[in-house]
Amino acid sequence: MEILQDSAITPDDKLIPSAQCQEAFCRFILARTGIIIQAHQFDNLRSAVSSACKRFGYASAFEYLTKLEQGANPPRELEFLISAITVRESYFFRDQYQIDFIRDIWLPGVMPKKPSGEKRLRIWSAGCSGGEEVYTIAILLMEALLDVQTWDINLLGTDINSVVLSDAASGIYKDWAFRTTPKHIQDKYFVKKDGAFLLHQNVRKMAQFKYLNLNEETFSHNLDTTHPFDMILCRNVFIYLDHRTVQGILKNFVSLLSPDGILILGASDLVETNIPGLELCRHQNMFYYQHRQEVFAPAKEIRPSVRPPIEDKHPPKRVQEKAPLPKKTASATPDPKPQKKTTVREEVIVMDRNGLWHEIPVFVDAYTADHGEDAFLTGMKAKALAGLGNVAAAVDLCNHSIELDKTCKYCYYIKATILIEMGKLEDAQHALRRAIYLDHHFFEAHFHLGQLLVRFHNYKAGLKSLRNALELVEKADQERLLFIEQELTCGQLVEILKSEIGVYDARDGKG
Ligand SMILES: C[S@@+](CC[C@H](N)C(=O)[O-])C[C@H]1O[C@@H](n2cnc3c(N)ncnc32)[C@H](O)[C@@H]1O
């Protein structure tokens, strides 16, 4: 720590960490939580440190850091920092494929496997954010089990961010949290209150929330659960953590799963195939991990206490009538081939990154009315439609964008990402190959192609694509965000690729 003696002049300057001090904060956060602070989060980190100093009375960022490192501060001082730097994005009924799987396949299948008379379910959402995920499961159970009140159900949500945990306990949500929720479900389980939506108490009381740092090696002891979990959800958490931390967490998960238990990660989390004690399984277009070697088989018959699935899978989305054009924001993903419409493209990329899918179609339509159709923007509109759950229209629109410009690699790439979501993996491969044909340096496309190939156990070809991606991405600006990949930088992709290549190298030759 000797290097960190800030020589700043004014007292306020001292509250903002210098470059070295900032690096030390990043190291501290990584060591304590496993979270990698990315370059685009640095501003946020600096302002969080400065606010923390003011709030807790530290004279400098360095002093605050020293106290944190010594563990001499009350936990709230650490919690303040963690709350500021964690990404809490979550919403109800996130990822339709996983929801369909849980409701239609897993739930009907798990009950017949229980010892006779046992009506107990243990489900854990690790990295639960504001509770949207846990309550989605609670609602699925309410809908599926006619005799839900006779079941011993333990729904646990844990997170490292204490602010989100108190939000979860309150059960109050803004409209945006329902962007993929069937309307009749929102109406049935929530009441409008002061411009927000309050979850019914009978659902709220099904879940418990707890503070838990997944990076603590001994976290399993802090769960004080006497029964193993039937299902662990850890969705969209690993993407923020370093590889070593993820390996440790997975090991703990294995020890906490029941013999038939499953683990579900987020669709954009890294898929690894060689996790001891877990078998990677696929159901249509989603992946999950099955404890031990037993492959989870869809139940042939549905028990009488199970209601039919919720019907309205893709309800009409409540698209805003009119969305304001977003403020111009610098995108961290520069279009590698600057063209006339770079600025507009960047704006749409930023909107996509912020999940403003309702606004993108309005924005693109307004642009088109003035300037005519643009292949790239049409592709991005298609991506937004897919984000809103309208995948069929999204694919049609992608095809149209390709008709507009058959040389637009991004259109093929966007189409591929949508096809992957839909589980049309062969077609996705084809689209990725087209994108690569148009630009051999398109490392995002090499990366996805490699991932698809190894998922199909074609390790030789998959490794080749992953190595191509690595070679190319190593030459790129390491702080650049990847094209339409939430929050992932080139530097992180390098780490992911190295780790994936290491995993699949062992299988080379068997593909
Ligand atoms: C993007 S949210 C995902 C929420 C939810 N699982 C979903 O998919 O909608 C990621 C959550 O992981 C939590 N998280 C990050 N690192 C963590 C750690 N080391 N231990 C526990 N939770 C962590 C964050 O606080 C945040 O609430």
The pTM of the whole model exceeds 0.85: no
Same domain, 63 and 129: no
Q: Does residue 322 carry a pLDDT above 90?
A: no
Residue 359 is predicted with a pLDDT of: 83
Residue 8 CB partners (closer than 8 Å, separation 6+): 14, 16, 18, 60
Same domain, 132 and 43: no
Look at ligand 1, atom 14, and give the residue with the nearest C-alpha: 127
Q: Does residue 9 carry a pLDDT above 60?
A: no
Confirm or reject: Cβ of 214 under 6 Å from ligand 1: yes
Buried b / exposed e along 291-308 (16+ C-beta atoms within 10 A): beeeebeebeebeeebee
To test the pocket of ligand 1, the residue of 99, 160, 216, 222 to mutate (highest count of ligand atoms within 8 Å of its CB) is 160
Tokens 């698209």 correspond to 319
Which residue, of 66, 85, 104, is where some domain finishes? Answer: 85
Q: For residue 206, report the phi and psi dihedrals to the nearest 5 degrees.
A: -75, -20
Read off the amino acid at residue 56. Answer: F
Residue 299 is predicted with a pLDDT of: 33
pLDDT band at 23 (very low <50, low <70, confident <90, very high): very high
How far, rounded to the nearest angstrom, does the alpha carbon of residue 299 sit from its chain's CA centroid? 28
**Structural tokens at position 507:** 């299988």
Residue 245 is predicted with a pLDDT of: 92
User: 238 with 266: CB under 8 angstroms?
Assistant: yes
Q: Does residue 272 carry a pLDDT above 80?
A: no
Confirm or reject: Cβ of 90 under 6 Å from ligand 1: yes
In a domain, 41, yes or no: yes
Q: Does residue 20 carry a pLDDT above 50?
A: yes
The number of domains in the chain is: 3
> Average pLDDT in the 278-299 region?
70
- Rounded Cα distance between 412 and 409, Å, is 5
Same domain, 69 and 136: no
In a domain, 484, yes or no: yes
120-126 and 152-159 strand pairing: parallel
Residue 32 CB partners (closer than 8 Å, separation 6+): 78, 213, 215
Q: What is the CATH number of the domain that holds 36?
A: 1.10.155
141 alpha carbon – ligand 1 mean position (Å):
23
Confirm or reject: Cβ of 130 under 6 Å from ligand 1: no
Same domain, 100 and 156: yes
Taking only the tens place, the pLDDT of each residue in 49-58 is 999 999 999 9
Picking from 235, 130, 141, the residue whose alpha carbon sits closest to that of residue 178 is 130
Residue 57 is predicted with a pLDDT of: 93
User: 351 with 333: CB under 8 angstroms?
Assistant: no
User: 462 with 12: CB under 8 angstroms?
Assistant: no
440 alpha carbon – ligand 1 mean position (Å):
35
Q: Does residue 464 carry a pLDDT above 60?
A: yes
Looking at per-residue pLDDT, the higher value among 23 and 388 belongs to 23
Look at ligand 1, atom 8, and give the residue with the nearest C-alpha: 235
In a domain, 236, yes or no: yes
The three-class DSSP label of residue 210 is strand
pLDDT band at 271 (very low <50, low <70, confident <90, very high): low
Same domain, 107 and 75: no
User: 59 with 49: CB under 8 angstroms?
Assistant: no
- Rounded Cα distance between 236 and 241, Å, is 10
In a domain, 12, yes or no: yes
- Rounded Cα distance between 111 and 106, Å, is 9
**Residue by residue, what is the 3-state secondary structure of 289-344?**
EEECCCCCCCCCCCCCCECCCCCCCCCCCCCCCCCCCCCCCCCCCCCCCCCCCHHH
Residue 326 is predicted with a pLDDT of: 33
Q: Does residue 5 carry a pLDDT above 50?
A: no
> Average pLDDT in the 356-367 region?
86
Looking at per-residue pLDDT, the higher value among 12 and 415 belongs to 415
Q: Does residue 178 carry a pLDDT above 60?
A: yes
Same domain, 446 and 390: yes
Which residue, of 53, 85, 117, is where some domain finishes? Answer: 85
Tokens 């070295």 correspond to 20
Which residue, of 50, 85, 120, is where some domain finishes? Answer: 85
Residue 344 is predicted with a pLDDT of: 87
In a domain, 307, yes or no: no
pLDDT band at 473 (very low <50, low <70, confident <90, very high): very high
Using CA of residue 370, residue 371, residue 372, residue 376, what is the dihedral sign? negative
Report in angstroms the alpha-carbon separations of 489 from 44, 386, 477.
Answer: 17, 23, 9
Same domain, 114 and 216: yes
Around 200, how many Cα atoms within 13 Å sit in the side-chain half-sphere? 12
Q: Where are the alpha helices (DSSP H) in 456-484?
A: 459-474
Report in angstroms the alpha-carbon separations of 510 from 91, 310, 506.
Answer: 40, 42, 9
462 alpha carbon – ligand 1 mean position (Å):
30
Q: What is the CATH number of the domain that holds 397?
A: 1.25.40.10
Q: Where are the alpha helices (DSSP H) in 388-458?
A: 391-404, 409-422, 425-438, 443-455
Least confident segment among 64-68, 234-238, 335-339, 420-424 = 335-339
191 burial class (0-12, 13-18, 19+ CB within 10 angstroms)? Answer: exposed
pLDDT band at 507 (very low <50, low <70, confident <90, very high): low
User: 126 with 234: CB under 8 angstroms?
Assistant: yes
Taking only the tens place, the pLDDT of each residue in 102-159 is 999 999 888 777 776 778 899 999 999 999 999 999 999 999 988 888 889 999 999 9
In a domain, 447, yes or no: yes
> In the chain, what percentage of residues exceed pLDDT 70?
84
- What is the atom index within ligand 1 of the atom nearest the CA of 125? 6
pLDDT band at 315 (very low <50, low <70, confident <90, very high): very low
Residue 219 is predicted with a pLDDT of: 77
402 alpha carbon – ligand 1 mean position (Å):
37
Mean pLDDT rounded to a whole number for the chain = 83
Least confident segment among 209-223, 278-292, 295-309 = 295-309
Q: Does residue 334 carry a pLDDT above 50?
A: no
Taking only the tens place, the pLDDT of each residue in 184-202 is 999 999 999 999 999 999 9
Same domain, 172 and 61: no
Sheet with strand 257-265: strands edge to edge: 207-211, 152-159, 120-126, 229-234, 257-265, 286-291, 278-283
- What is the atom index within ligand 1 of the atom nearest the CA of 161? 25
Same domain, 159 and 12: no
- What is the atom index within ligand 1 of the atom nearest the CA of 129? 27
Same domain, 455 and 478: yes
Same domain, 108 and 203: yes
Same domain, 51 and 108: no
Read off the amino acid at residue 245. Answer: T
Domain extent, residue 130, equals: 96-291
In a domain, 318, yes or no: no
Q: Does residue 318 carry a pLDDT above 50?
A: no
Residue 190 is predicted with a pLDDT of: 98
Residue 270 is predicted with a pLDDT of: 67
Q: Does residue 313 carry a pLDDT above 50?
A: no
257-265 and 286-291 strand pairing: antiparallel
**Structural tokens at position 116:** 């006779």
Confirm or reject: Cβ of 89 under 6 Å from ligand 1: yes
Confirm or reject: Cβ of 94 under 6 Å from ligand 1: yes
Q: Does residue 300 carry a pLDDT above 60?
A: no
In a domain, 320, yes or no: no
pLDDT band at 21 (very low <50, low <70, confident <90, very high): very high
